Amino acid sequence: MIIGITGGVGTGKSTVLGILEEDFGANIIMADEVAKYLQAPGGRCYAPIVDAFGEEILDMEDPAHPIDRAKLASIVFEDPDKLEDLNYIVHPLVKIEIMCQISGFYNKNSEALIVIEAALLIEAGYTDIIDELWVVTADREIRIQRLEESRGYTREKCEAVMASQLSEEEFADFADFVVDNSGSIEDTKKQIAERLTELDILED
C-alpha cells in the first residue's frame, strides 16, 4: 500500500508522517529530501540546474560548490517561467528516484506500508503511483500560529504563502481521506488508526 500525503503549509504534515512512521511502522519518502539529495554536487539534478540557471546560484565559498537553495528560490519564485523550468528538470528525476526507493522497500517486504510526502504531490503527478491520497488540514488560525512560532513568519507572509497554494477545498477534491490535524496528537492518531483499519492495514 502506497499512501500519498499532501496539504497546505502549516497543516502539520510532519506530525502525521511521524505518527505513521513511529506508531504504524510506515516507510517514509519525503520528496523535498529526495530533491535535496539529487541537487547536491554529483546528484542527477545538479548539472542540469547549473546549466539552466548559471553559476551565480552556487555557494562558491564551499569547495564543493553546492547549489545555494535560497538563491535559487529567490530566482524562481519571482519568475513563474523560471519556476516552470526548474520543475521541468527536478520533478521527473525526483519521481524516478522515489520509484527506486519504493522498489527497495517492496524488495525487503512485499506488504510494506509506504508513505510519500510532497507539497506538490497533486500538481507533480504523483497520484498515478499511489493507492490512496491523504490531505492534511487544520484550522486557518492554527496554521498561522504554527508558522509564526516554527518559522518566524509574519501574519502577512503566512497568508501570502497560503494564498499561493491550493485551497483547502481544492485539496479536499482530490483526497481519498482528510486528516483534520487541528486538535491533539491523540485525536490525529485516532483518525489515522481508524483509516488504516478501514484499509485492512490494521486489525480491528
**β-pair partners for 30:** 117
- Tell me how far CA of residue 104 lies from CA of 12, 40, 107, in angstroms: 27, 22, 5
The residue among 76, 111, 146 that closes a domain is: 111
**Terminal C-alpha separation, the chain:** 18
CA atoms 47, 88, 76, 168: torsion sign = negative
What stretch of H or E contains 82? helix 80-108
Query: For 123-175, what is each residue's pLDDT tens digit?
Result: 888 889 999 999 999 999 999 999 999 999 999 989 988 988 888 889 889 99
Query: For 91-111, what is each residue's pLDDT tens digit?
Result: 999 999 999 999 999 999 999
Write the CATH number for 149: 3.40.50.300
CA gyration radius for the chain?
18
**The one-letter amino acid at 166:** L
CA distance 19 to 192: 8
Tell me, yes or no, whether 44 and 92 share the same domain: yes
**Quick one: pLDDT at residue 203?**
66
Tell me, yes or no, whether 125 and 178 share the same domain: yes
Model pTM score: 0.89
Tell me, yes or no, whether 107 and 152 share the same domain: no
The residue among 96, 111, 126 that closes a domain is: 111
Query: For 56-94, what is each residue's pLDDT tens digit?
Result: 999 999 999 999 998 998 898 888 899 899 999 999 999
Q: What's the total number of domains in the chain? A: 2
Tell me, yes or no, whether 123 and 201 share the same domain: yes
